[in-house]
Structure 1
Amino acid sequence: MEANNVSVKQTSMQYGLVLGGVLSLLTISMYALNPELFVKWWVGIITIVLVVIVGIVSTAKSKSNLGGFMSFKEAFSAYFITVAVGLAISTVVGILIFNVLDPEMATYINERAVEVTREFMEKFNTPEADMEAALAEMQNNDNFSIANQAKSYVFGLVFQAVLGLLIALIFKRKDPNAIA
């Protein structure tokens, strides 16, 4: 069982490093080429889908490495380690870019997020008082501060843990020849 866990951990770490690299490359590319992408809702959806897909691929690879049989714990670990490592790398890159290299860009993106939210709320005829309250709260919140990026990482892990539990249920498969 010890060798199996090492195999799952090694595979998950490798996929987590790849995921972190891809997410970091995506962040750096958006920063360098088109910072407006940071306020596009579909970029967030694509990122979430990418994280889930890499987590699933990591879980499937781990299951294959284990001969097609995997406990719930191994399946969850394969998924969760992958996404935790990948998101941690991406978070560190975001902190470096928006707090060390270019804090002005963080300010710009926060301002654009307020503008985009205003446009979105106006399209849906949100009452002016509600809109102003929401926008005032957004203006007082620095999404790129180290604390807020750390919070986003933790909340992202909670969301991914729930998905990981569901994926582990799908991937677990008991070895019928195993001695109980």
Structure 2
Amino acid sequence: MEQQSTSPAMAALKSGVTIGLVMLVISFLIYFIDYSLLVAAWYGFAVFVLFFGLVIYFGIQYRKEIGGFMPYGPAFQFAFVTLIVSGLISTLGNIVLYQLIDPGLSELLVKVQLENMLAMLDNFGAGDNISSDQINEMRTEMEDAFTFAGQIKGFGVSLIIYAIFSLILGAIIKKRDKSTDF
């Protein structure tokens, strides 16, 4: 029974819930402060760094709890389950925000996101090369990403990304017991 309570998946479940709730609180705080920050590039980067930093932190804490050493397989499993659980909580929170709390928010975010993208393209000198049809296509794709189906689809794509990042995070979290080398 003791072994199961400290398995990588069980530890990751607890860590994933914690990280997911932290990310959810941050998203709602940013929404209440200034909704346009939700699509700001610096905010996305900061959340990315915090998200993966917390996975590494909790992974190292778990490794210490189990004796200071963890092979790559359990480290990968820990990272992957943590990312899935926290991503699921964040996705459900975003669905609640965009569909129930403020259904008009997605329209405002698409407008801000499109303005940011066009400004960036103008800075690179490519803004004049974008046709109105291309702008409308970008707007439609952005709007679709905020729908319920778009959020679920986004989480599905995230699973693939989580698997790739878990390979990297597992390598960071693992620690081999060199005293067993002959």
Q: TM-score, normalised by structure 2?
A: 0.86
- Residue identity opposite 2:92 in structure 1: V
Residue equivalent to 1:56: 56
In the alignment, structure 1 residue 39 sits paired with structure 2 residue 39 = yes
> Deviation string for 1:9-49 (max 9, x for gaps)?
23212211111111111111122220010121011101111
- Residue identity opposite 2:167 in structure 1: L
Residue equivalent to 1:121: 121
**Does the 8 Å CA contact 2:118/2:127 hold for their aligned counterparts?**
no
Give 3-state SS (helix, strand or coil) of 1:103's partner. Answer: coil
Deviating more after overlay: 163-172 vs 31-40: 163-172
**Displacement of 1:135:** 2.1
Cα distance change of structure 1 residues 80 and 31 upon mapping to structure 2, 3 Å threshold: same
- Aligned with 2:159 (options 148, 154, 157): 157
Cα distance change of structure 1 residues 130 and 168 upon mapping to structure 2, 3 Å threshold: same
How many pairs are equivalent?
A: 177
Q: Name stretches of at least 5 consecutive residues in structure 1 with no aligned partner.
A: none
Provide the C-alpha distance between the structure 2 equivalents of 1:4 and 1:70, rounded to a whole number of angstroms. Answer: 16
Provide the C-alpha distance between the structure 1 equivalents of 2:10 and 2:124, rounded to a whole number of angstroms. Answer: 48
1:90-109 matches, within 5 Å, as: 90-109=90-109
Deviating more after overlay: 146-155 vs 92-101: 146-155
- Residue identity opposite 2:39 in structure 1: V
Query: What's the % identity of the aligned pairs?
Result: 24
Cα distance change of structure 1 residues 60 and 114 upon mapping to structure 2, 3 Å threshold: same
Q: Name stretches of at least 5 consecutive residues in structure 2 with no aligned partner.
A: none
**Does the 8 Å CA contact 1:58/1:78 hold for their aligned counterparts?**
no
**Displacement of 1:6:** 3.9
**Displacement of 1:112:** 1.4
Query: RMSD over aligned Cα, in angstroms?
Result: 2.2
**Displacement of 1:85:** 0.9
- Residue identity opposite 2:148 in structure 1: I
